[in-house]
Structure 1
Amino acid sequence: MQRGAAAVSVAIFLLLAAGAYSFIGVAQQPEVALENPDHTVVAGDQPTIEGTTYNFTEVGDGSATAQWTNESARYTAEWAPEDTVVYEGDNYTVAVPNQSDPTEFELREVQTVDRPTVEQNGTTYVIVEEDGERRLVERSEYVGEPTVHSFSEGDQIALPDNDNETTVASVTNETVTIEWFAPRTNEVSFEEGANATLGESGTPYLAHFEQQTGGTVLQLTTDYADYNSDVAAQQEFHERTNGLWGIVILSGLAAALLIMLAFLPSRY
Structure 2
Amino acid sequence: MQRRAAAIYVAFFLVVGAASYSLIATAAAPTIGFENPEYELSQGDTFEIGGQQYTASTVETTVEESSGGGHGGGGGATISHSATFAWTNESALYTQTWDNGSTVTYEDDEWQVVIPNESDPASFTLRESINRTAILGDDPAADNATVTRDGGEFVVITENGTATLVPASEYFPDPAERQLSEDETIQFEGNETRIDVASDAVTLSWNAPRQNTVQAGNHANVSLSGQTYFTHFSTNTSVVLTQDFAGYRAQTNEIDSFNEQRNGLWGVTIVSGASVVFLIGLAFLPSRY
* TM-score in terms of structure 1 length: 0.80
**What stretches of structure 1 of length at least 5 have no aligned partner?**
none
Task: Measure, in 2, the Cα distance between the counterparts of 1:243 and 1:172.
Answer: 75
Counterpart position of 2:153? 124
Counterpart position of 2:247? 226
Conserved? CA contact 2:124–2:197, under 8 Å = no
Identity %: 43
Matched, 1:135 2:164: yes
Matched, 1:189 2:215: yes
Superposed CA RMSD: 3.0
Matches within 5 A, 1:44-83: 44-60=44-60, 62-83=81-102
Give the counterpart letter for 1:235 in structure 2: D
TM superposition shift of 1:220: 1.9
Counterpart position of 2:256? 235
Q: Secondary structure at the match of 2:9?
A: helix
Give the counterpart letter for 1:189 in structure 2: Q
User: Quick one: structure 1 residues 52 and 5, their matched pair in 2 at CA, closer, same or farther if it must change by over 3 Å?
Assistant: same
Counterpart position of 1:146? 175
Q: Secondary structure at the match of 2:185?
A: coil
Task: Measure, in 2, the Cα distance between the counterparts of 1:55 and 1:221.
Answer: 16
Task: Measure, in 2, the Cα distance between the counterparts of 1:154 and 1:66.
Answer: 40
TM superposition shift of 1:166: 2.5
TM superposition shift of 1:110: 2.1
TM superposition shift of 1:23: 0.7
Deviation digits for residues 187-234 of structure 1 (CA, Å, limit 9, x no counterpart): 2334332112123xx1111122325xxx85433222321222122212
Give the counterpart letter for 1:124 in structure 2: E
Q: Secondary structure at the match of 1:47?
A: strand
Q: Secondary structure at the match of 1:165?
A: strand
Matched, 1:248 2:272: no
Counterpart position of 2:206? 180
Task: Measure, in 2, the Cα distance between the counterparts of 1:89 and 1:57.
Answer: 36
User: Quick one: structure 1 residues 36 and 133, their matched pair in 2 at CA, closer, same or farther if it must change by over 3 Å?
Assistant: same
TM superposition shift of 1:3: 4.1
TM superposition shift of 1:265: 4.8
Give the counterpart letter for 1:221 in structure 2: T
Conserved? CA contact 1:87–1:158, under 8 Å = no
TM superposition shift of 1:144: 4.5
Counterpart position of 1:207? 231
Count of residue correspondences = 260
Task: Measure, in 2, the Cα distance between the counterparts of 1:129 and 1:26.
Answer: 102
Matched, 1:165 2:182: no
Conserved? CA contact 1:156–1:168, under 8 Å = yes
Q: Secondary structure at the match of 1:34?
A: coil
Task: Measure, in 1, the Cα distance between the counterparts of 2:199 and 2:18.
Answer: 79
Task: Measure, in 2, the Cα distance between the counterparts of 1:53 and 1:12.
Answer: 66
Give the counterpart letter for 1:232 in structure 2: N
Task: Measure, in 2, the Cα distance between the counterparts of 1:52 and 1:93.
Answer: 42
Instruction: Identify which range, 94-103 or 184-193, moves more after superposition.
Output: 94-103
* TM-score in terms of structure 2 length: 0.75
